[in-house]
Amino acid sequence: MNYMDKYKEWRNNPYFDKETKEELLNLEGNEKEIEDRFYKDLEFGTAGLRGVIAAGTNRINIYTVRRATFGLANYIIKNTTEEEKSRGVVIAHDNRHMSREFCIEAANTLAACGIKAYIFDSLRTTPELSFAVRNLNTIAGIVITASHNPPEYNGYKVYWEDGAQVMPHIANAITEEINSIHDYSTIPTLTEENKNLVVTLDEKADTEFIEAVKKQVIRKELIEKVGKEFKIVFTPLCGTGNKPIRRALSEVGFENIIVVKEEENPDPNFAGIEYPNPEEQKALSRGIELAKRNGADLVIATDPDCDRVGVAVKTTTGDYALLTGNQIGGLLTDYIIEGLKEKSELKENSTLIKTIVTSEFGADIAKANNVEVLNVLTGFKFIGEKIKSFEENNNEKTYLFGYEESYGYLVGTHARDKDGVVASVLISEMAAYYYSKGMSLYEGLMSLYEKYGFFKEKTISITLKGIEGLAKIKDIISYFRENEVSSMGDFKVVDMKDYSKGIDNLPKADVLKFFLKDGSWVAIRPSGTEPKLKFYIAVKGINENEATDKIDNINKYIDATVNSLIIENKEATSKLYC
């Protein structure tokens, strides 16, 4: 069927509810919107769905959630033993519009297929879901979230029994199952006979997760010493992090926690924040203002599903500066290594894991301390995969720390995804450590730059929506793949890696990485969850000015090249921002 036939099917089929049909009826005559909603099915990407909440096959709604869950159920039934299937699936959700409804729909669909579904009584964080998969020994897990996307979005992520997001071969197989479902009315519905397969978890699950987080503290005596006076401003950005982070910080000894009131409680509209993204200054603006009024030492913000953490720290001028994900990762790498060395607990086979688009700041620190560094593809599931591999190979390597530039960190192996709860605890401990030495976290960062060199990075995200946008994203990356790029700005290209060829013992991925003569690099990849093409620039200088000049020079080249490629289709470009 073409998009108009699908539109008419949804309007006329008695399977779809009255509200859905009324919403679609209001689109009559708006062919471009109808086309965008029905020209394809919402894609089940590397780990799940993400889209705007609305009626249509290319939107997320109760019907597309049911379809995805039925596909997951069919995969489990066909590819696992009866014992594995009987272990069930655990589901968590965030604070977004329709999150609870989607959670219930997923649980009911699983139960209708004869698979037990564990749900929480209300919203929970993504890292707690990852922990719960292994703690409850389920065969899989689901999180209903769209992370830091705007309020009109929601999503659906799938985890496997190791607690990590499903690997590509499983995601592809689930996708095949989903794509084979053409008639929504064939999806089974919950009956009296199987409704007891939906089980609600109690607070014991929360306590077990928090206890696992608390075990990762390195210098307990330090927190006991300064925990009462060290001031932390915290905002969960209206998401799931409020209760677990405040509880964890309090239980390890931090008593001076000031919460941004406007952003404390769950709010699907995020208290007016357009992008509840802890990477962005606007998302932390209230927290920074609160920190200024209270003279706080540290500002922490977590995204709605609490798997990522943003940080603002007081500088030498008294202002507050946002740290990048690369800076936080480098600081944590140094802090963890030095803390373990102090306790004589740094193992010889300790290994740092980072992604190929993460800077070399943390890697250089690790190597200087004889810690091995492994690079993996973008996506925290690949870090989780390495942890699993270490365990299966009699711990021939010991997992030290894993992180990615997009503000995701995991200390410990209790979870197999980035954990904003444990990261908030360790970042607070680290900042308190520098505080005990009469230094801010910012001054700690500067001291590391003096020792290892000044690292600087920039990410450029180009958003190109719709059918035309998708085609243009492919055109741009094809240009860089197929044309010999001899230089980027003033810097000669000395090597290019095309990860779509399956190189460096990594799975195939649509990523290009250009290595420049001065040691800088540029990586290009399409987003797996949003209509975006991303450019990552990473440089190292002898000081901040030199590093900034290098970034600006390379950035000008990228802007000019990309703008020349999209100039024929400006309508598809919604924004270009850094």
**Residue 438 is encoded by which pair of tokens?**
């009469």
Query: What's the farthest any 2 CA atoms get from each other in the chain?
Result: 71
Q: Report whether pLDDT(189) > 80.
A: yes
Give, for 554, the enclosing helix (H) or strand (E): helix 544-566
Q: Report whether pLDDT(118) > 60.
A: yes
Number of other CB atoms surrounding residue 32 within 10 Å = 9
Q: Report whether pLDDT(564) > 60.
A: yes
Considering the entire predicted model, what is its pTM?
Answer: 0.93
Half-sphere exposure of 536 (CA within 13 A, CB side): 25
Give mean pLDDT, residues 82-94.
98
d(CA 163, CA 448): 34
Quickly list DSSP for 186-247: GS----TTTGGGEEE--THHHHHHHHHHHTT-S-HHHHHHHTTT--EEEE-TTSS-HHHHHH
Q: % helix / strand / coil in the chain, to the nearest 5?
A: 45, 20, 35
d(CA 557, CA 420): 35
Burial class of residue 338 (count of CB atoms within 10 Å of its CB; 0-12, 13-18, 19+): middle
Q: Report whether pLDDT(578) > 70.
A: no
Q: Report whether pLDDT(530) > 80.
A: no
Q: What's the pLDDT band for 466 if we cut at 50, 70, 90?
A: confident
pLDDT of residue 75: 98
Quickly list DSSP for 460-506: EEEEE-HHHHHHHHHHHHHHHHHS---EETTEEEEEEEEGGG--TT-
Segment among 3-12, 161-170, 462-471 with least mean pLDDT: 462-471
Cβ neighbours for 542, distance < 8 A, ≥ 6 positions apart:
453, 454
Give mean pLDDT, residues 317-346.
96
Give, for 450, the enclosing helix (H) or strand (E): helix 441-452
Q: Report whether pLDDT(434) > 60.
A: yes
Number of other CB atoms surrounding residue 356 within 10 Å = 21
pLDDT of residue 575: 39
Burial class of residue 335 (count of CB atoms within 10 Å of its CB; 0-12, 13-18, 19+): buried
514 strand-pairing partners: 496, 522
CB 200 within 8 A of CB 121: yes
Task: Establish whether 487 is a catalytic residue.
Answer: no
CB 539 within 8 A of CB 455: yes
498 strand-pairing partners: 512
Angle at 94 between CA 19 and CA 153, to 5 degrees: 50
DSSP letter assigned to residue 568: G
CB 575 within 8 A of CB 463: yes
**Residue 421 is encoded by which pair of tokens?**
């709860």
pLDDT of residue 567: 67
CB 309 within 8 A of CB 324: no
Write the pLDDT tens digit of every residue in 477-513.
Answer: 999 999 999 999 999 999 999 999 999 999 999 999 9
Beta pairing, strands 350-355 & 398-404: parallel
* Length in residues, the chain: 578
Q: Report whether pLDDT(529) > 70.
A: no
Q: How far is CA 85 from the centre of its chain?
A: 28
d(CA 541, CA 519): 10
SS3 state of residue 404 = strand
Of these residues, 99, 130, 147, 406, which one is catalytic? 147
pLDDT of residue 576: 36
Q: How far apart, in Å, do the first and last CA atoms of the chain sit?
A: 40
Whose tokens are 């998009």? That residue is 3
- What's the mean per-residue pLDDT of the chain? 95
Give, for 532, the enclosing helix (H) or strand (E): strand 532-541
